[in-house]
Structure 1
C-alpha cells in the first residue's frame, strides 16, 4: 500500500508540474513572470482565487470550529475566507487605475505613501506568507502520517520541489494554469471523500444536538475570525498579483465574486462535516481533528483520495505563495535591475528555511495569529491610500496606533503592560477578539484623525 500511495501522489505532483511548465513563456519578460499582466479571464481568476485560497487548513480549522463552536462561528470563518477576494474585486479597479504598471502590494503602498511604508507593508506580507507556507507543508506532513505509511518527510519535500520547479520556471502563469485544474480536482475529491464519509456515518443518536456556545461568545468568535482572516489575506501578495493579471476591471470583479462565492460554499460544507462528526458522537481525537474522525468509519480505500485531496489543496496554495513571495522581492528590487534568472533563484532560496521549519513538525498556529494581528493593525490605513487626504504620516500613525490598540485591551483588564503584550501574542494559541478589535479600531480612528488634521500635501487621485 505505501508503494501505491507514493505512486499516486507522485503522479498527481507530476501532472501539476507538467501543466505548470506547459503554461510558461520561455522568453517572456520579468514583468510577465510576476504579473501575467492583463491576460486572465473572469472564470480563470475565479478558479484561481478558490484554489490559491484553499489549503490543508480547510481540513482542520473549519471542521473544528463547526464541531466545537457551531454554525455562527463557522459562518464567520466562511465569510472571512472570501472577503479578501471581494475587497480586491471592489478596490482593484481603482488600484489598477492608480498604478497601471504595478506588481505588488508593496508598490501600491509606495505609490500612496512612500518607500518607508512600502518596506513595512512588504515585511508584514512576507512574514504572513512564510507562516502560511510553513503551515501548509507542516499540515501535509501530519496528514500523510495520519492516512498512510508513507514517510511524511518524503511528501513534504515532494510537494515543495514539484511546486518550486514549475513556479520558479513558469512564474505566475504556471500557478494560474495549475490553479484551474486543481480547483476542479479539489471540488471533485471533496465531494467524493465527504460524501462517502457521511454515508458511512452511524445514525445520529436521538439526543444529538447542534454544537453551539452562548450566542454572545459565538458572535465574538465569528467576528474575530472575520477580522483576522480578512486582514491577513489582504496582505497575501498572491491575491494582489491577480489584480494586474486580470484582463480588465470587469474580469477582476467577476472573478473575485466567483472565487468568493465558491470559497464560502466549500468552507461551509467542510465545516458542516465537523458539525456532523460532533453530533454523531464520534471520538474526535486529541487534539481534535473532526474531518479525519469521519474517515475512521469509512472504507480503507477512501484514505487514498483523501490524501490526494490534501496534496492538491497544499500544492494549490503553496505554488501561489512561492510566486507571491518571489514577486514581492522582485518588485522591491526591480528598479535596480533584478533579472529573471535572479527572480527564479529568489524563489528557490526562500523555500529552504520554510521546508526546514516544516520538517520539524512544529505548530505554527500561534505565529500565524501574531502575523494576522500585525496585518489587522495596518490593513485599514493601507487601503485608505486610495483616499486623497491620506498621507504617509497618517498611515504610519494608524499602524502604530493599531499595534498599541492590540495590547491595550489586555493591559486595561489586567493592569499590566507585560500581561497586555502576552495576551496579544495568544499564549494559548486561540484567537480572541479584544486584540484584533483593538488593533482595527485604533488604526482606523487614528489614521482618519491624522489624515483630517494633516492631509497629504499633494493629494493623489485614484
Structure 2
C-alpha cells in the first residue's frame, strides 16, 4: 500500500508540474512573471481564488468549529474565508485605476504613504504567508502519517519541491494554470470522500441535537473568525497579484464573487460534516479531528483519494504563496527590481526555512493567530490609503495604536500590561475576540482622528 500511495501522489504532483510548466512564458518580462497583467477571465480568477484559498486547513478547522461551536460559528468562519475576495472585488477596481502598473500590496502602500510604510507592510505580508506555508506543509505531513505508511517528510518535501519547480520557472501564470485543474479536482474529491464518508456515518440517535455553545459565545467566535481571517488574508500577496492579473475590472469583480461564493460553499459543506459527525456520537479523536474521524467508518480504499485531496489542497495554496512571496520581494526592490533569475532564486531561498519548520511537525496555530492579530492592527490604515486625507503619519499612528489596542482589553480586565500582552499572544492557541476587536477599532479611530486633524492634504501618487 505505501508503494501504491507513493505512486499515486507522485503522479498527481507530476501532473501539476507539467500543467504549470506548460503555462510558462519563456520570453516573458519580469512584470508578466509576477502579475500576468490583464490576462485572466472571471472564470479563471474565480477558480484560482477558490483553489489558492482552500488549503489543508479546510479539513481541520471548519469541521472542528462545526462540531464544537455549532452552525453560527461555522457561518462566521465561512464568511471570513470568503470576505477577502469580496473586499478585493469591490476595492480592486479602484486600486487598478489609481495604480495601473502596480504589482503588490507593498507598492500600493508605497504609492499611498512612501517607502517606509511599504517595508513595514511587506514584512507583515511575508511573515503571514510564511506562517501559512509552514502550516500547510505541516498539515500534509500530519495527514500523510494518519492515512498511509508513506514517510511524512517525503510528501512534505515532494509538495514543496514540485510546486517550487513550476512556480519558480513559470511564475504567476503557472500558478493560475494549475489552480484551474486543482479547483475542479478538489471539488470532485470532496464530493467523493465526503459522500462516501457520510453514507457510512452511524445512525443518528433519536436525541441528537445540533452542537452549540451559548448564543453570545457563538456570535463572539464568529466575529473573531471574520475579523482574523479577513484581516490576515488581505495581506496575502497571492490575492493582490490577481487584482492586476484580471483582464479588466468586470472580470475581477465577477471572479472575486465567484471565488468567494464557492469558498463559502466549500467551508460550509466540510464544516457540516463535522456537525454531523458530532451529532452521530462518533468518537472525534484527541485532539478532535472530525473529518478524519469520519474516515474510520468508511471503506479502507477511501484513504487514498482523501490523501490525494489533501495533497491537491496543499499544492494549490502552496504554489500561490510561493509566487506571492517572491513577487513581493521583487516588487519591494523597486520598479527596476530584480531579474527573473534573481526572482527565482528568491523563491527557492525563502522556501528553505519554511520546509525546515514544517519538518519539525510543530503546531503553528498560535503563530497564525499572532500574525492574524498583527494584520488586524494595520489593515484599516493600509486600506484607507485611497482616502485623500490620509497621511503616512496617520497610517503609522493607526497601526501602532492598533497594536496597543490588541493589548488594551486584557490590560484593562486583568489590571496589568503583562497580562494584556499574554492575552494578545493567545495562550492555549484559542482565538478570542477582545484582542482582534481592540486592534481593529483603535487602529481605525486613531487613523481617522490623525488624518482629520492634519492641516493640509498630502501630495500623493494615488
- Matched length: 462
Query: d(CA) in 2 for partners of 1:423 and 1:214?
Result: 22
In 2, the alpha carbon distance for the partners of 1:458 and 1:160 equals: 44
State how 1:148-227 maps to structure 2 within 5 Å.
148-227=148-227
In the aligned structure 2, how far is the partner of 1:308 from the partner of 1:51?
Answer: 14
Matches within 5 A, 1:312-327: 312-327=312-327
Shift of 1:455: 5.9
1:352-410 CA-partner distances (Å, limit 9, x unpaired): 00000000000000000000000000001100001111111110110011000000000
**1:399 to 2:404 alignment:** no
Q: Quote how far apart the aligned CAs of 1:333 are.
A: 1.0
Match of 2:338 in 1: 338
CA contact 1:48–1:183 (8 Å) conserved in 2: yes
Q: Is the 8 A contact 1:137 1:358 kept in 2?
A: yes
Report how far residue 336 of structure 1 moved.
5.0
Tell me the equivalent position of 2:27: 27
Cα separation, 2, equivalents of 1:405 and 1:187: 40
Counterpart in the other structure of 1:446 = 446
Question: 2-side partners of 1:63 and 1:459: how far apart?
Answer: 49
Deviation at 1:77, TM superposition (A): 0.1
- 8 Å Cα contact 1:389-1:455 kept in structure 2: no
For 1:165 and 1:460, the matched residues in 2 are separated by 39
**Equivalent residue runs for 1:280-299 within 5 Å:** 280-299=280-299
Q: Please list the CA deviations of residues 230-254 of structure 1 after superposition, one character each: whole Å capped at 9, or x if unmatched.
A: 0000000000000000000000000
Deviation at 1:458, TM superposition (A): 2.9
Alpha carbons of structure 1 residues 100 and 210: separation in structure 2 relative to 1, 3 Å: same
**1:267-298, Cα deviation, whole Å (9 max, x unpaired):** 00000000000001011001000000000000
Matched, 1:247 2:247: yes
Q: Which whole-Å CA distance do the structure 2 matches of 1:334 and 1:451 have between them?
A: 27
1:207, CA displacement in angstroms? 1.4
* Equivalence for 1:133: 133
Moved over 2 A (4+): 334-337, 455-462
- C-alpha distance in structure 2 between counterparts of 1:6 and 1:314, whole Å: 16
> Structure 1 CA distance, aligned partners of 2:460 and 2:185?
44
- Please give the per-residue CA displacement for 1:198-227, whole angstroms capped at 9, x wherever unaligned: 000111011111000000000000000000
Alignment partners' CA distance in 2, 1:405 and 1:193: 43
Contact kept, 8 Å, 1:389 with 1:459, in 2: the verdict is: no
Does 1:382 pair with 2:390?
Answer: no
Aligned to 2:267: 267
* Contact 2:82–2:259 (CA under 8 A) maintained in structure 1: yes
- Secondary structure of 1:288's counterpart equals coil
Distance 2:437 2:109 in 1: 23
Q: Check conservation: 1:391, 1:455, Cα contact below 8 A.
A: no
Cross-structure match for 1:372: 372
How many Å separate the matches in 1 of 2:219 and 2:271? 16
Mapped to 1, the partners of 2:386 and 2:75 lie a distance apart of 30
Distance in 2, Cα, partners of 1:23 & 1:430? 42
| C-alpha contact (below 8 Å) 1:156/1:359 kept by paired residues | yes
CA distance in 2, matches of 1:456, 1:401: 22
Structure 1 residue matching 2:390: 3-state secondary structure: coil
Using the size of structure 2 for normalisation, the TM-score is 0.99
**In structure 2, what is the equivalent of residue 41 of structure 1?**
41
Structure 1 distance, partners of 2:291, 2:385, is 41
Structure 2 unaligned spans of 5+: none
**Could you tell me which residue of structure 2 aligns to residue 436 of structure 1?**
436
CA shift for structure 1 position 335: 3.5
Aligned in 2, Cα 1:202/1:239: closer, same or farther, shift over 3 Å? same
SS of equivalent residue, structure 1 residue 335:
coil
Question: Contact 2:388/2:457 (CA < 8 Å) preserved in 1?
Answer: no
Contact 2:128 2:235 in 1 (8 A): yes
Q: How does 1:35-74 map to 2 (within 5 A)?
A: 35-74=35-74
CA contact (8 A) 1:392 1:456 kept: no
In structure 1, the gaps of 5 or more residues are: none
Question: If the length of structure 1 is used for normalisation, what is the TM-score?
Answer: 0.99
